[in-house]
A = this chain, B = another copy of it.
């Protein structure tokens, strides 16, 4: 690998001038610029990022901290990561995925090594130990998600209110009046303070009340098997249900299959609408699920860009909330009662 000194020698300039050109940090005369660029091309020069990092005290590496123990890493998460990595690359940063625990211990360990300029925090808890670690060490960070205390914290998140409102409105407009929310299992220690589960539950209670709907919430863990059980519970305890909203994507697959196993047609007897899912997972179900599509690509990108602005001292982006959007599939239809009674118009 050629070094900057070799480029400078070949171009007949000093190493400083090469650096100025490369970083666009001081003006360089056109003729000089041409000679340097020629020399770089001739030598196939690529700047050594390690040396740059040491000299500038900026590694240009961003870590995406993902609690792989507590949360499955699936297609949904991959979307966040891939879009974040892409956004980082566009701004001359590397984004690396760090599987670190929720408690902040590993994170502190890693931060001490000075490898990263900043951290994108995934799967944020309402009161997140990692935030404390990041603040103590003075590490810039952005959250994809939100703690309860937010003052001064850079973040982006799903707009749960709009997501739930749109989902409920869609079902309501089709004529559904008896909904069930399959919510998270808040007894599970991984989730009792997990933002999305809490916020979706809160939003649902409020919005269902606005529509004067009876509020029925079934708790359910984040597995297909748990979804089966939730389906059984719905059929047994809430036989009049015409539509089911499901928070977790794995549970949603289970609810659908579970309803079918119990002889219910989806969407003939019951509609199923997952609140946070990606098309790939929706396609795993039969019928293919109608979903509120997780805005992973947008949020991965926005979160990373927010952090980078922070790192570069630019004016911070305002916190952004992005709703999941309805993507039609085959699991939502009009309720039988509506077709019979003519509710829902059109």
Contact = CB atoms under 8 A, between A and B. Distances in A.
Interface of A: 1, 44, 46-51, 53-54, 59, 68, 72-75, 78, 81-82, 85-86, 94, 96-97, 99, 109, 112-115, 223-225, 228, 250, 253-254, 257-258, 260-261, 280, 283-286, 288
B81 A115 contact: no
B114 A49 contact: yes
Contacts of A113: 46-49
Nearest to A115: B49
A1 B223 contact: no
Contact of A283 (B54, B225, B286): B225
Most-contacted residue by chain B among A47, A78, A258, A288 (CB, 10 A): A78
A94 B54 CA distance: 18
Contacts of A85: 99
Number of copies of chain A assembled together: 2
Contacts of A286: 224, 228, 254, 257-258, 260-261
Contacts of A47: 113
Contact of A53 (B50, B68, B228, B285): B50
Contact of A46 (B72, B99, B112): B112
A54 B99 CA distance: 25
A223 B283 CA distance: 8
Given A49-B114, A81-B97, A73 B72 contact: no
A46 B107 CA distance: 13
B94 A48 contact: no
Contacts of A109: 46
A260 B53 CA distance: 57
A47 to B, nearest CB: 7
Contacts of A97: 81, 96-97
| Complex A-B, nearest 6 residue pairs according to Cβ-Cβ distance, in ascending order | A46-B112, A96-B96, A73-B78, A257-B286, A49-B113, A48-B114
